Amino acid sequence: MKKLLLFTLLCCYCITTYCQKTDTCCNDLKTLYVKSEAECNLQNALTYCLSYTCCNPSDYYALYDVARYYALSHKADSAFTYLLKATQLDNDSALFHMKNGVFVDLVDRPEWNKLADNMLQRYERTHGKIPKREVTLMLFNCWIKDQSHYEEMRYYPGEVEALWATKNQLDLENLSVLQNYVKDNGWPKYSEVGKDFSSAAFLIVQHQNPDSTRLMKRYLKLIKKAVKEGEWDADCYALLYDRIQVYHGKKQLYGTQGITDKNGKVSIEPIKRAWGVDKRRKKMGLKPLSEYLKALQEQEDWLNGKKTDQ
């Protein structure tokens, strides 16, 4: 009996020690893949993250990161496989994590649209039904195209010019989609398509080139009307108003438009009545200018692969 007890205790000790070592190893792998991403070492990040998921197969965020790394590596099939594994874990944030520009190569696939529809149904169980679901899904895909290739520029600095050319083409495609919708239905409303997904419409207009100011002004009027009706946020109006002003060589009103010099330092374009800018910004739901400038600089540093405090 004593021998059996000693054997049992020895087994428990060995299992406990193994588990502790395994946990330590897994934690090390997670640290390594996070560090590799921060250093823009995509291959190492993917390798360490894959190893980490072997000992933590139910870690939603790790599975999602593997999908993201595969997408950035231009391996769309593997990216979708791991994204599907992540979404099957029933995480309430899954739809928002799918809303990532790195997945641009997936959005035209039938299986992507089916998955997005399923995730939208999950979203609706918590947030209520969306009247125009098909429009929401359309804007969802437009948002991904609009935000595409930014992260790729961090990992492929030698391809930045080509990536911008691809982005510009996607912007034109998005504009065509939005124009066709607005022509027949008017500007999309929060109450119709959901506040969490409608921002794509604004981004499509905001990201047009300086030759499109006439079009941008037309949509600015629609956004202004939607703001008055409580169907849109005022900060979008401020951002688009300022961009049109800057495109025309005029001073902006809300200080939303920045410019980056050759050294990567961000500054704010000239502001009309600058002494009152923070008061105007607050009225439009914008943070103080100093905080905004800091956020712009952090974003620029991130795009350039520099470490930030975030």
Please give the Cα distance from 193 to 120 (Å, whole number). 11
pLDDT of residue 121: 92
Question: Which DSSP letter does residue 40 get?
Answer: T
Q: What is the mean pLDDT of the chain?
A: 89
Residue 273 · residue 291 · CB < 8 Å = no
Per-position DSSP letters for 262-298, written without gaps between them: TTS-EEEPPBTTGGGHHHHHHHTTPPPHHHHHHHHHH
Average pLDDT over residues 22-44: 83
For residue 117, give both structure tokens.
């529809």
pLDDT per residue as tens digits for the range 127-182: 899 999 999 999 999 999 999 999 999 899 999 999 999 999 999 999 999 999 99
What pLDDT, on the 0 to 100 scale, is given for residue 307?
54
CB contact at 8 A, 146 and 204: yes
Side chain identity at residue 48, one-letter code: Y
